[in-house]
Amino acid sequence: MDQGTQRRSYRRHFIIVSILVAIVAIISIVGLWAVPTFPIASTQAITVDWLFDLHLAVIGFLFALVMVFMLYILFVFRRRPGEEGDGDHFEGNTRLEIIWTVVPLIVVLSFGVIGAVTLRDVTAAQANEMTVNVTAFSFGWQFDYPEQGVEKATALKLPVGRPVHFKLKSLDQDVIHSFYVAEFRVKQDLVPGVPTELRVTPNVEGAYRVRCNELCGTGHTNMLADVAVVNQADFDAWVAEQKAAVSPERLAAMGQELHASQGCIACHNVTGEPGGVGPTWKGLYGSERQFTDGTSGVADDAYLRSSILASQERIVAGFAPVMPQNYADVLSDQQVAALIEYIKTLK
């Protein structure tokens, strides 16, 4: 093969490979973009998804580049029957080496800059922010609204379109939790002793969920909290309801929800079945209790209150002192009252 023929042959291979790379890249990118994800429910999510799609585009192109070149070489330049000689020998190609060093360098540096700008955008303080204090514990969440005067809510209620400034802290000393709502796209770890913050502007009304995003122990999978993004009128009504005096029936219903959401259910059943980690709540109210120190008492309001808030003071005979001791920090007075009202209904 003379030099001119060989050059034309190289050019032909190069054109074919370029076309194949373009086709495979487009199919890969469109395919990656079509993978379903959680819907978007915050303005930060729009920015994050844009950056994510940009990454997927580069990933799709690189995948096509590597796969097409590799498969093309494997098939087109394979050794055919009767071919005994060595292939062509190449030594170095300065132009190619400069291209495959400089182009990736520019791409990586560009992503560094774009990433930094995006991070600045999604963490920027907004006008008219509403503060919500988030407290994580093993294994649950609670939310305080200092501006609205709502304390220790077990679910998150947010008005649509209003920027929220979450201030996060953990009651634990030994594990890391992480505040994450998939539809908001942003997340923040809660590190013991280190207050952290997160900014979210919910922009779509709906029901979502906080899911703890760090493996934090046996209750990790149940470390959930409901999130409701609602219109301003519904939010105001909710705030008013949280602060209003509550009927015993409503309290008992709240207690039933807390029994599940705060993990009481893991140790205290309400069916009276024996063998629980802690005493059953069925028939508990007004019953006679025998304690490990030999004393006894009646399970009245005061007893139930101290059993929740200072559980280690008196242990019911036959049970181990394993109940968490942080409920004075975790539960509001109203929530303790709600649990007691609920226990009263379990006759």
Lookup: tokens for 158: 């947010």
**Cis ω for the linkage preceding 139 (within 30 of 0):** yes
Which span (29-37, 91-99, 213-221, 247-255) binds ligand CUA, by CB under 6 A?
213-221
Q: Report the residue count for the chain.
A: 347
CB 56 within 8 A of CB 34: no
Ranges of beta strands (E only) in 175-277 are 177-180, 187-190, 196-200, 206-211, 224-230
Q: Does 223 bind ligand CUA (CB under 6 A)?
A: yes
- The residue from 216, 299, 304, 330 that contacts ligand CUA (CB under 6 A) is 216
Residue in 38, 52, 111, 139 annotated catalytic: 139
Q: Does 185 bind ligand CUA (CB under 6 A)?
A: no
Give 209 or 220: the residue with its C-beta nearer to ligand CUA.
220
Query: Closest by alpha carbon to 198, among 345, 45, 67, 61?
Result: 45
> Which one-letter DSSP state was computed for residue 194?
B
Give 177 or 199: the residue with its C-beta nearer to ligand CUA.
177
What is the H or E stretch that residue 289 is in?
strand 288-290
Give 215 or 237: the residue with its C-beta nearer to ligand CUA.
215
Residue 137 catalytic? Answer: yes
- The residue from 164, 184, 202, 214 that contacts ligand CUA (CB under 6 A) is 214
Q: How far is the CB of 172 from ligand CUA (least distance, A)?
A: 8
Bridge partners, 194 (sequence order): 191
Which span (18-26, 181-189, 215-223, 279-287) binds ligand CUA, by CB under 6 A?
215-223
Give 214 or 341: the residue with its C-beta nearer to ligand CUA.
214
Lookup: tokens for 18: 């370029």
Query: Closest by alpha carbon to 65, among 23, 9, 98?
Result: 23
Residue in 137, 166, 184, 235 annotated catalytic: 137
Q: Does 180 bind ligand CUA (CB under 6 A)?
A: no
Residue 139 catalytic? Answer: yes
- Positions touching ligand CUA (CB under 6 A) are 139, 177, 212, 214-216, 220, 223
